[in-house]
Structures are given as C-alpha cells and as structure tokens.
C-alpha cells in the first residue's frame, strides 16, 4: 500500500498491525447502536496501536477527545451522516460543534437530492458550509458523495464542486448506502480531483486485496469494517516477504 502511494488507510481494526500500517488507519465505529463501552474500547485500541484517528458519530467526539488527549491519536467526526439530507446551516453548526468538542477531521455527506435535481448552487453552498469552518480551524474536511446513488456525470460534478470548495478529500461512500467503493469510482474521482487532493474509498472493502485495488486506483485512504482480517493479512504478507527475502 505504501509503495502504491497511500498516505493513510481508514479501517475499523483491532489486533497487532505493523507500526507503519497502524499509523495510516482511521479506526472507525459509526454503527447507530454503538455503546460507550465500545467507543472507549475503540479509543484504547487506537492509542495502543498508534492509529491516526478514531472516526465516530458526533455524540462521541467529546468522550474520544478526552480519552485520547496526549495520545497523538486524532478524532474524526461525521456530519450530515449518513443521508446528507440536512440543511447547510445545520451541517455548518454540526461541524463547528464537532470541532469545539475536539474533532480534527470532518467527513460530511453532500445533499445528494439537490445534486440529482441539478441544483448545483445548493450543493456548492452545502459543501462550503462545512469546508469553510474547517479551513478556518485547520481541520481536515472530507466530502462523501455516495457514489452508488450517482451517475458518472454526477460523480464528476460532485468531485468538481468539492474541489472548488477547498475540501481536502472526496470520499466514495458512507457505508450505509446501496453500494460501496469500486476501483472504477476511485479512479474516476482521482482523475477529476487530480494529484493534490485526497480520495478515500469506503464501503464493501473486506480484505487486503480489495485495499490494494483501491490504492492502485488512486485512493489515499480506505475505510472498511473487516479491519481485523485486513490487518492480519497485511501483517502476514509482511512476514512472508521478510522470510522469502532471507532476512
């Protein structure tokens, strides 16, 4: 993954990951029935293995920020999640509140209905309501386009608007929609946003081979729920490589 150009991999993982891979992981738990105990365990794992962030729903941001203070692990919050069908001013408030509570990264879902209606001004305003406060506070912003709901032309439009709004990343999916990431979508998004913007693939990524496919297509982060399997496969592959090399 590193050789292919990845700078971070976002997965929900636990277990002994190689140090270089762990530092690329956004440790994720976005299920609606997640408990406080599960969130605290998520934070303990993140601190233990040195993950880049934990990615959680807004209600858990303050708890994660307190728990992870001084650990070097950041907190990522979602906004307008998972439908994106929230007004722009509310998404802006949700963003500012999440940052106040300690979030250092924001994953927002666009107004998919407005995009499909051709109301591009509304989509632009929707994205800017999140990216502007993120810029002001030097917080990373990621725009989820929910690609499975869009035509290729709509995907291009969504990515173009996200780039114009100054987002740091575009992201394929919430993981709660009708479909997840595909290499074709990642490649299309990469072509649209160019080399200077991040692309995050999420949804339906269940093994290391899928991660490699997304990275090869242009993803710089990957979100998955089958993280234990992915991390174990990465560790095993690294061990096998060392053994074959004779070191």
**Active-site residue, 212 included:** no
118 to 27, 115, 127, 177: CA distances (angstroms): 35, 5, 15, 21
Q: Which of 26, 107, 126, 185 is catalytic?
A: 107
Residue 57: closest CA among 40, 93, 73, 81:
81
Q: Which of 91, 142, 200, 212 is catalytic?
A: 200
**Active-site residue, 171 included:** yes
Q: How many CB atoms lie within 10 A of CB 229?
A: 16
192 to 24, 107, 199: CA distances (angstroms): 24, 19, 10
What is the residue-wise DSSP string for 15-76? S---HHHHTTBEEEE--TT--HHHHHHHHHHHHHHT-SEEEE-GGGHHHHHHHHTTSS-EEE
**Active-site residue, 185 included:** no
On the 0-12 / 13-18 / 19+ scale of CB atoms within 10 A, 143 is buried
Q: Which of 126, 171, 185, 212 is catalytic?
A: 171
φ and ψ at 168, to 5 degrees? -85, -30
* CA–CA separation, 116 and 127 (whole Å): 15
Sign, CA torsion 145/154/152/189: negative
Query: Coil, strand, or helix at residue 92?
Result: helix
Q: Which residues are known to be catalytic?
A: 107, 171, 200
């Amino acid at each position: 993954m590193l050789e292919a150009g990845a700078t971070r991999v976002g997965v929900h993982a636990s277990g002994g990951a190689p140090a270089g891979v762990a530092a690329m992981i956004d440790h994720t738990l976005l299920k609606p029935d997640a408990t406080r105990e599960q969130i605290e365990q998520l934070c303990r794992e993140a601190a233990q293995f040195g993950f880049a962030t934990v990615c959680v729903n807004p209600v858990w941001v303050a708890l994660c920020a307190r728990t992870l203070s001084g650990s070097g692990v950041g907190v990522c919050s979602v906004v307008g999640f998972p439908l994106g069908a929230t007004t722009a001013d509310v998404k802006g408030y949700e963003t500012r509140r999440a940052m106040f509570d300690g979030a250092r990264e924001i994953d927002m879902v666009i107004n998919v209905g407005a995009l499909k209606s051709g109301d591009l001004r509304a989509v632009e305003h929707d994205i800017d309501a999140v990216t502007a406060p993120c810029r002001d506070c030097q917080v990373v912003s990621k725009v989820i386009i929910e690609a499975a709901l869009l035509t290729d032309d709509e995907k291009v439009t969504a990515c173009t608007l996200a780039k114009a709004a100054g987002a740091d990343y575009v992201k394929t999916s919430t993981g709660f929609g009708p479909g997840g990431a595909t290499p074709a979508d990642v490649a299309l998004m990469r072509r649209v946003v160019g080399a200077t913007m991040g692309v995050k693939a999420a949804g339906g990524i269940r093994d290391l081979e899928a991660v490699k496919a997304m990275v090869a297509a242009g993803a710089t982060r990957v979100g998955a729920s089958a993280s234990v399997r992915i991390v174990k496969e990465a560790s095993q592959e690294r061990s096998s490589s060392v053994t074959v090399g004779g070191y």
